[in-house]
Amino acid sequence: MQPSPELQDLTSRIAQAVGDGDVAFPERHISRQADVAFLGSDPDEWWTDLAGLERALAAQRGAGVMVIPGDPLAYQEGNVGWAIDRTVRFRIGDQEAPFRFSVVYRHEDGEWKMVHFHSSVAVSNEEARGVTLPD
């Protein structure tokens, strides 16, 4: 495993494009293989096909959801890479909230393509489960 400035930059550019409403750039970097999986922070945000994800992204853009890029960390080994970020933010109208994500890339046809994405809103164990777990 080695740090990947290329995937760090790509991850930032994808977040910026989503925030700007530029659909073409992120879609160019989504795998067209059947094994993709995209999981959002809501329990119903679960897509395992490109068509479902594209419908959801269009609906969220129409609702005014914006993404404010953060400062991702990225790594790669061979034709697989991944990135994580806990400094990115969602903005909907006047409300802004932090979230975190992980993304897995695979090198396909000369470009990095997303094959898995998962985002979540960090909530303490005490708030989510009523208990404090040891670190």
Point out the least confidently predicted range of 1-5, 27-31, 76-80, 125-129: 125-129
Q: Average pLDDT of 53-73? A: 82
Highest mean pLDDT among 72-76, 91-95, 117-121: 72-76
122 or 94, higher pLDDT: 94
Q: Average pLDDT of 120-130? A: 81
Residue extents of the structural domains in the chain? 2-121
**Nearest one of 74, 98, 68 to 86, comparing CA atoms:** 98
Sheet holding 111-120, edge to edge: 2-3, 73-77, 80-85, 100-108, 111-120, 37-39, 46-47
Q: Is the pLDDT of residue 127 over 90?
A: no
- DSSP class of residue 69 equals -
Whole-prediction pTM value? 0.87
Point out the least confidently predicted range of 9-13, 27-31, 56-60, 67-71: 56-60
CATH number assigned to the domain with residue range 2-121, chosen from the 4 options 2.40.70.10, 1.10.3080.10, 3.10.450.50, 3.90.480.10: 3.10.450.50
Cα(78)–Cα(63) distance, integer angstroms: 38
Cα(133)–Cα(41) distance, integer angstroms: 22
Structure tokens at 62: 């129409």
